[in-house]
Each structure stands twice: as structure tokens, then as C-alpha cells.
């Protein structure tokens, strides 16, 4: 199970007209703790931001699934609320359970299409409750450390 953290960083960005503007941008990290997510954010953002930046906020993000896309045009992230419909065998009543899924897509129609593609293999009945664009700039899934550990054996 992934634990996602939304980390907001604040820095001065040069906008289209050449002026500097203070901006706050959210990023999503798969990490074990708040501390690890902050460290990953600093590690990932340092090469891309000239000057100083600060981590202004960290909070848990409640996404049960994330659908990534390899398409170049898919540069935005959409939060989709899915409602799963199950039947209670004893009473026969419908039970609705909602969950949040993040989808990488080019626009709203593309997000719904990618959501349906991602849910194709599921047996559960579901309804799309809502789809809305998020301000998330990028998502960083967990990657094991690439450096091999070297231990001296004597």
C-alpha cells in the first residue's frame, strides 16, 4: 500500500514577462513518513530550481490508486472520485463506498477515458462521482535506492 504525501514548495519563479514571482507548487511523493517525503522533495527539486526554496506544507494525500500516462500531452493531474456500489446480502440494500484516484491526462475528457481504461479489469460496479483538475505539478512514485550497499566482509 502506498502512502502519498503532498509536499508544497515555495520559491521565486521567473514568469513569461521576465518578472520574478513567488509561487507555491504542490508535488506528490510516495514515502514512508513526512520526513522522508520532505527529503525526497528537496533532492528532486534542487536541480530544477535556481535560488532558494522552502517546503511550506506537507500533508497526507488520500489516493487509493494513481494512473500514470506516457503521452506527452498528458501533463495535468485530475482527482477522480469513484463510488463503488455493493449489495448487502442480508438486507439487500445498496452500499456505496467512495475512493479517490489520481489520473494523469491532457484534459477532462482524456481523464475520464483513462479512468475507464484503468478500471476496465475490475469486477466491481462503480460510478464516477466527480473529476476535477488538481494543481499538482508532478508525482514521484517510490524507487528503491539505486546505490548498492557495500559491506566489508572479513
Residues 100, 130: contact at Cβ < 8 Å?
A: no
Q: What is the pLDDT of residues 100-134, one digit of tens each?
A: 999 999 999 999 999 999 999 888 889 999 999 99
Report pLDDT for 101: 97
Q: What is the pLDDT of residues 19-45, one digit of tens each?
A: 999 999 999 999 999 999 999 999 999
User: Which burial class, exposed, middle or buried, applies to 81 when counting CB atoms under 10 A from its CB (0-12, 13-18, 19+)?
Assistant: middle
Q: What is the pLDDT of residues 125-142, one digit of tens each?
A: 899 999 999 999 999 998
Query: How is residue 49 written as a grid cell?
Result: 530550481
**Side-chain half-sphere CA neighbours of 94 within 13 A:** 7
Give the pTM. 0.86
Report pLDDT for 140: 96
- Taking phi over 0 as left and psi of -120 to 50 as alpha, with beta for the rest, 18 belongs to left
Mean predicted confidence (pLDDT) in 72-98: 91
Domains defined along the chain, listed by start: 1-61 (3.10.20), 62-136 (3.30.1280)
DSSP annotation of 148: P
The CA-based diameter of the chain, rounded to the nearest angstrom, is: 67
Amino acid at each position: 500500500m502506498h502512502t502519498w504525501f503532498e509536499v508544497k514548495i515555495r520559491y521565486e519563479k521567473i514568469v513569461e514577462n521576465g518578472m520574478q514571482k513567488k509561487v507555491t507548487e504542490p508535488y506528490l511523493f510516495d514515502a514512508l513518513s513526512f520526513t522522508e517525503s520532505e527529503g525526497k522533495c528537496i533532492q528532486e527539486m534542487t536541480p530544477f530550481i535556481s535560488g532558494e526554496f522552502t517546503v511550506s506544507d506537507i500533508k497526507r494525500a488520500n489516493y487509493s490508486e494513481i494512473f500514470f500516462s506516457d503521452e506527452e500531452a498528458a501533463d495535468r493531474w485530475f482527482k477522480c472520485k469513484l463510488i463503488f456500489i455493493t449489495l448487502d446480502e442480508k438486507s439487500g440494500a445498496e452500499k456505496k463506498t467512495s475512493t479517490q484516484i489520481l489520473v494523469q491526462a491532457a484534459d477532462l475528457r482524456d481523464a475520464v477515458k483513462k479512468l475507464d481504461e484503468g478500471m476496465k479489469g475490475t469486477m466491481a460496479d462503480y460510478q464516477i462521482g466527480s473529476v476535477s483538475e488538481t494543481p499538482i505539478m508532478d508525482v514521484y512514485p517510490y524507487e528503491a535506492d539505486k546505490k548498492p550497499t557495500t559491506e566489508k566482509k572479513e
